[in-house]
Chains A and B, each alone.
Chain A
Amino acid sequence: MRAKNIKSKQSFLLLSLFFSGASFGQQLLETKEGDLLFNPIISTNAASTTTATGLIKTNITDQSIGGEFFYKLPHTAPLDPTKSNKFNFITGGIKAKPTEGYGAVFKNGQFSPAANFTFSLNRFKLLDANLDQATATANDNFTDWGGIYFGLNVNKYQLYRSDTTFAAQLYSKVFNGGSIGLNYNMLLYSQFLLSAKLGYSRKANFSDLDEVEVKDIKSEYDPVSLTTRTVTTTKTARIGEKYAEFDSYNLTIALTRLTQGGAGSAIKMGYSAYFDLKSSSIAVTTANVGVILFLAQAKNYISTPLIGFDFQFADVSNNKKSETGLFKRFSLGLTSTIPIR
């Protein structure tokens, strides 16, 4: 049995590859945990060909592959309330991954699936209520959108515990978790995006548990050939004694400098500073702060982030009473986006 600390993996480089399925690129930035930093913008004046757009993506930290879609609801006229729908656009996403990672898939042929579904309903102009009439536009330096989001997680976990009978030590656990919350985004001076997400989710602490490899060795002696044969099967699991399911509340606030979507193809730098507060029923409240520096390139007047570096300090106020200093709780992440066209 070989134990590895999964937390050391979380401080490892994050590499997310987004393969854009449309030239209508989104300013997509993910946290190290694989959550979108803010609900992306979708144009409400898009032509019929860009009414809906989507992309596929992979994320190496949580080892997921998935897709996102964005759909503008019909008959949306944000400037005219008499024509406008209650909600202007919807977004959705799906992610799938092996819960023990691809290492276990390739090494042991072991696959425990996890799927994550997200959906959000969004509306433009929540506080920006002047309807952008020309007479009021001169001093209008912001616009906003926001809405409600839902999520559903379906996971199958492989767990190991030593404090029970031999036959019951290695077992599977199915966990279904849901989430619900609100998101709000304010675009200031056409360039600075202030965004906030507040939500509840039902979670399991599987990813925080130590990982073990369980090896079953069977021996058989053949008196004819005088040979002892051993057969080894290996399974990757997490220590189950501390497994828990719990309620979690989180608040994320981010300020992002979006890059210009101009005619040129120059690479430009943007940044996002974020504050992520997490509270749960089984652990103390912690706050992570970080900065994502990203490079984006304009193509067809749309800015697409190519690469991003995520600098994060975890639990800045040391509520977990860790004996390590703040800089020991620092980690670097790397995100990358590759548009197909």
Chain B
Amino acid sequence: MKKFDLELRVKTQGYVFSWGVYLQEKQGFPVMDNTTARDPETGEYVKKFPSHSAPNDELIVIVSSEGVVGGETTCTVIIDGTKREKKVIDKLTVPGYASEKYKI
């Protein structure tokens, strides 16, 4: 398994009143929620995971949120300093959660 530096940035829009970001290799409680520190410039919630690794070098990021239809939670994934084009967007029009896979 390769080691890589992972950074996750989350922002919410609309009536989202609870959310969490999960990494598949860290089952259980979310790795980020509303208690995560924010970037004072952008207002995004930011968390860094230095020297992270993922099974089969495939990172799966899951975003789950709750609120009123129209709200959405967006998680931007930055691997080794490169912002990945694909974002994980959980829209409240769709029941359940959103997830994306990233090849390391």
Chain A residues touching B, majority SS: loop
A202 to chain B, nearest CB (A): 34
Q: Which residues of B contact A140 (CB under 8 A)?
A: 95-96
Tell me, in angstroms, the Cα distance from A190 to B72 when the chains sit together.
11
Tell me, in angstroms, the Cα distance from A120 to B28 when the chains sit together.
32
Q: Which residues of A contact B43 (CB under 8 A)?
A: 47
In the complex, which of the residues A43, A78, A138, A262 contacts B96, with contact meaning CB atoms closer than 8 Å?
A138
A77 and B68 contact, CB distance less than 8 A: no
Tell me, in angstroms, the Cα distance from A48 to B37 when the chains sit together.
11
In the complex, which of the residues A131, A141, A191 contacts B68, with contact meaning CB atoms closer than 8 Å?
A191
- Whether, in the assembled complex, A75 has its beta carbon less than 8 Å from a beta carbon of chain B, the answer is yes
B29 and A134 contact, CB distance less than 8 A: no
Interface size on B, residues (CB 8 A): 33
Tell me, in angstroms, the Cα distance from A258 to B68 when the chains sit together.
7
> Interface readout for B45-75 with A: 1 if CB under 8 Å, 0 if not?
0000000000000000010101111110000
Task: Tell me the residues in window 58-104 of chain B with beta carbons closer than 8 Å to chain A beta carbons.
Answer: 62, 64, 66-71, 92-93, 95-97, 99
A262 and B20 contact, CB distance less than 8 A: no
- Whether, in the assembled complex, A30 has its beta carbon less than 8 Å from a beta carbon of chain B, the answer is no
Task: Tell me the residues in window 89-109 of chain A with beta carbons closer than 8 Å to chain B beta carbons.
Answer: none
Tell me, in angstroms, the Cα distance from A187 to B71 when the chains sit together.
14
Interface centre among B12, B19, B64 (most CB of A within 10 A): B64
- Whether, in the assembled complex, A83 has its beta carbon less than 8 Å from a beta carbon of chain B, the answer is yes
- Also in contact, A134 and B64, with CB within 8 A (given A44-B18, A80-B30): yes
- Whether, in the assembled complex, A303 has its beta carbon less than 8 Å from a beta carbon of chain B, the answer is yes
A53 to chain B, nearest CB (A): 13
Interface size on A, residues (CB 8 A): 42
A261 and B97 contact, CB distance less than 8 A: no
A324 to chain B, nearest CB (A): 40
Tell me, in angstroms, the Cα distance from A44 to B14 when the chains sit together.
12
Q: Which residues of B contact A138 (CB under 8 A)?
A: 95-97
Q: Which residues of A contact B69 (CB under 8 A)?
A: 190-191, 258, 260-261
Binding site for A on B (CB under 8 A): 12-20, 22, 27-30, 33-35, 38, 43, 62, 64, 66-71, 92-93, 95-97, 99
Binding site for B on A (CB under 8 A): 27, 41-48, 75-80, 82-83, 124, 131-135, 137-141, 143, 187, 189-191, 258, 260-263, 298, 301-303
Q: A44-B34, A137-B64 are in contact. List 20 more A-B contacts (CB 8 A).
A: A42-B17, A43-B17, A45-B12, A76-B34, A77-B35, A79-B33, A82-B29, A124-B18, A132-B64, A133-B20, A133-B29, A134-B22, A134-B62, A138-B97, A140-B95, A187-B68, A190-B71, A258-B69, A261-B71, A301-B70
